[in-house]
Structures are given as C-alpha cells and as structure tokens.
Structure 1
Amino acid sequence: MPEGHTLHRLADDLTATFAGHAVRSSSPQGRFAAEAARLDGRVLEGAEAYGKHLFVSFADVPSVVHVHLGLYGSFVISPGTAHPVVGQVRWRLESEATADLRGPNACELLAPPEVDVIMSRLGPDPLRADADPDLAWHRIHRSDTPIAALLMDQKVLAGVGNVYRAEVLFRHEVAPMTAGRRLTRRRWTAMWDDLCALMRVGVERGRIDTVRPEHEPEAMGRPPRADDHGGEVYVYRREGMPCLVCGTAIRRRDVAGRNLFWCPSCQRRH
C-alpha cells in the first residue's frame, strides 16, 4: 500500500497540473459515472493529502472527491490528452494533461461532514503543517500494544506504513515489540521529528530513502539496493542480509498483519 509520502506527492502533482483549469471529468469504467458528470467542466481548485487519503476539490462544488488507493490503486498523470483507455479507469481527468485513477479502494464524492468523519478517525500526519504529535503520544504512552503495531495504526499516526515504521524503529534503536507505554517522551519526539524529515525526502524524491550518509552505497563500497520498492533502507525487505551497521542478520516477523524487519542486535532498546 502506498505510504503517506506518495499521496502528498500525488496531491502536489495534481494541483500543479490541473489547479485553476476547467477539466473534463469522466469514468470510463462507469463506477464513478454520475459523480464524474457532476464535476465535468468544473475548475479544479486543488488536491491535498491526509495520511493515505487524497481529497480533490472543485470550484462551486461543495463536495470533494475522496480517494484511497488501497493496496492496488494508482493515479497516473500523463502529458497530453486523448489517450486510449487502458485497463479499468475509475476516474479520468483531462485538461492539458490526463490523470487516470485505477483500482482504488475508494473513489467517492463526499459532503464536508463526511470528510470531517474521515479526518476525525486519523492520527496526526507528519507531512502536514497542522499535525500535532502530542495526539499520537497520548495514545502511545498509555498503550500496552507493541510500538511496531501502533506506528501502523492510522488512528495513532496517519500516513506511516510498513517501510517507514521498520526504518524509524531501526534508526532509533527501538525493539519493535516494546510496549508503547515504555517509550519515553524524548524518544517519541525524536522519532516524530525523524519521520517528518524522512517523509519529506520521500515526497521530494518519490521513493523512500532512510540510510545516513555514512551507510550509503558509495560510502560503504557496496552495490546499490536492487528492489522494486527502490530507495536505500536499513532493514526493510533485507531478511537474512547483514545489518549495515553491525553485520547481524536482519530478521522478519509478522506484526499487525504485515512483515516487520529489524536488527536483533541494534534494536535492543526498550
């Protein structure tokens, strides 16, 4: 599932491409046809992300389009128009460019109160200026749930997914099964600040990079990571490979329904 940086980058790209323009709106697949017709010819005002949710607004339309990509969704912007429809396109936007949404978990036109309901269910998003890390801390420090599961809970923290949770825990030497209540306020603040910085890099580069300069391929004399997820990471999808810091074999286990990767030597802190 795309993590929060992907949605924020997508919101920026949609705004840069379509904001201020009257756009043609359609649903080649037909599952969003009535809603797309209501938006056809309207001026797109902008798009914003909150966690893994995307919201697209139009001038003179009180409702907004809510998109959640889920595991298999994609929203691809291509230059030019009149592109043939390829695959099941739920929603197409056209102006001087074309944006095709395929396979989302959600694509719906929502009134403001319905948007508020979604927002109220989400924890703070490290990529938003209005985020309050104290809201996440209040839930974390009272919980016996492992911190590795709490970081994936969108009610606690919005936008953090499997890669960022594994990497931030490694970078701060936190054992993944540590109960939330055993995390100190100081360490949580450091983790939050790190997530803010790492996810901003993700928005800029369009990929997740988490290794420090001294552990980059050039510095260590090692080949770059070869993985379809891209980016240089410490532990994610590196099971059985040597830790870049201590050389211990990286381990994997299931936590909160997803594969978690960690270094049993570096991550002993409770």
Structure 2
Amino acid sequence: MRSTTSSPHRLLRRVSRRSSSAPTRCAAPAPTSDSRRPNDLHDPEHRAVAPRHQRRRAERRRARAAAPLGRPRCRRRRRRRRERAARSGRRHRRRIGQRLDARGRARAPLDDARRVPSLGTEGVPILAVGTGYELLSWGVESADGTVVEGLGILPGRAVPHAGPRVTGDLVIRSPRFGHLVGFENHARDYVQAEASPLGRIVAGEGNGRGSGQEGVVMGWVLGTHLHGPVLAKNPAFADAILVEVASRAGVEYAPGEPAIVVDGYAAEARAAQLAAAGVTLPS
C-alpha cells in the first residue's frame, strides 16, 4: 500500500518550487529597465505636472548633491547674511535720518525764538497775546510748581492765579494807544512788571494781584492778555503797529477804503462790548 504522507524533504522541495514559480501576494514586482517611479521628478514628463514645491525640493537636492563638501551652500548663506545686514543697515540709517529731520524741524521754531530778543532790541514791532505774552517774560510757573524759562524780553513773570480761571471782558486805558477792548482768558497772573504796563484797568482783571494794570510795553515789544481778537477790535492800535512796520520798510502806510469799512464793523463790536461791560467812554 502506497503511503499518503510525504517526507519532510519532499515538502520543502514543493514549497520552494511554489515560491520560485509564482510570486506571493505581498511580494513587490521586480524592477525592470522600463519601470519608473510615479514621483520621479527627474522625468521631464512628470516634472511638468509635479507641484512647484516638489520641483524646488528636487532642485535643491540636486544642487546639494553636486556641491563639493557643501562649500557653495556656505557661501550662499554668508551672502544672504551680508545682504540682510546691508538691508537692516539701510533701514537703520533711514530711521536715523528721519529722526534727525524731525529733530531739525522741531528745533527750527526754537532757533527762531532765539532771534526774538535781538529783534526786540532792534525795534521790530512784536505783539504777544496770552501765553505768548507770558513766554516773553522771565519765566512761567505752572500749578504744580514747575517753571518754564521764558525768553526774558519783557520784565516780570507769570505765576498761578489764586482763584478760578479768569475769563470775561477786559477794557483798559493806554496812554499810548487810547482805550483798548478785548476778552481775557488766563489761569496765571503777571507780576513784577508794574513799571511799564500797557494800560490801566477800566473793567476786568488784567495782570491780576490787585495791580490795576494790564500788559507790558518795552519799546515796540507789546505783551497783553487782550484777546478778542485785539487787532480787529482796536483798529487804531492795529494802524499804529502797521505804521511802524511800514516806516521800517521805507514805505508809507495809509488805510484804504476796505479798511475804513472794516473799521466801522469794529466800532460796532467795541460799542457792544463796552455796553456789556458797563463802560462809557468819554466822547
């Protein structure tokens, strides 16, 4: 009787014969000379349809492979660092230039302010109103005690007012310019200037501290609290300044027809303000 069992040697030969004749399910096909990877970026046909970032990666890999010992890469890095440093330096220099330009523009008014004392001593007419009047003094003291140094053209200094802010109509009598009207609005008094006031108080507070005076005059440097505007409401005062300016320029000033019409409007405004302040001027 023929035995159905196989010897171990025969079974091994059978299994080896199967594995050599037919590939298993998990075995990969053997590569041939015509087979290509689906993502082979070296293929010109596939390069046209591959994403851009993949093409760039492949180009970088080829460049790295062709570079001897990575030296070109180091040179490129150094060049990029130098370019970044140059751009940063240009931006830094540009910022510095902008700051210097801003400082120059900020200092320009200060340079002009330093010329004001010499202009005052030369007899150039200067009219300072409100805070400008205070800045022409020796100094301006704020409520917290800090002091801002003035230009020192006019005698006196501005100090905080003891009470609330001073506001209201202001009328003064000036021996040089007649009666002047305006509006005062200030939180500081002007002291130590009793020797050369612009005028005496008719209505209002003026320099304050019970001095009965308003403003300071030093030649043609005029300081006052009179707003209003002071030149529009006091045509004779404005004409006196214009006559002096014209004479310094070597020309003669004479009000024209438009100025006469405007002076009529100013006279009406002056009359209304004097009536509101309860002041009657002598005829």
Q: Same fold (TM over 0.5)?
A: no
- TM-score, length-normalised on structure 2? 0.17
Whose Rg is larger? 2
Larger helix proportion of the pair: 2
Kindly indicate whether structure 1 or structure 2 has the higher relative contact order, using CA contacts under 8 Å at least 6 residues apart. Answer: 1
TM-score by length of 1: 0.18
